[in-house]
Amino acid sequence: MEKDYKIHGIRGATSIEEDNAAHISERVLELWKEIILNNDILRVISVIFSVTSDIKSLNPATVLRKKLNLNTIPFMCLTEPEFENSFSKIIRVLIICESSTQNFVYLHKASQLRQ
């Protein structure tokens, strides 16, 4: 059976406990791995990250570019707007890709975002 690949936006998010480069790297790589494992992605077109304003030590896009050598994918990182009762220390991602699936992944404290 032939798979039906379409352009999808796959969402994901994770949280950190402390704002330091090593911890951010660990969580971003974990999130990326889980999204890849839970989806049938043929081609990544672009990736948009957003972070809450309390994350300042490392851009999550830099993690993927440097650790996974994803130099041909356009990345962007934005600061998430602050709203009343918003969670802190959250990293969100939107992967625009060609995929036969669209399974979102929310890890750690960010899993509460989808409840």
Domains along the sequence of the chain with CATH: 6-114 (3.30.1330.40)
CA 39, 47, 2 angle in degrees (round to 5)? Answer: 35
| pLDDT at 115 (0 to 100) | 63
CA distance 29 to 32: 5
Strand partners, 105: 12
pTM across the whole model: 0.92
The confidence score (pLDDT) of residue 113 equals: 81
Q: How far is CA 85 from the centre of its chain?
A: 22
Q: Does position 64 have pLDDT exceeding 80, yes or no?
A: yes
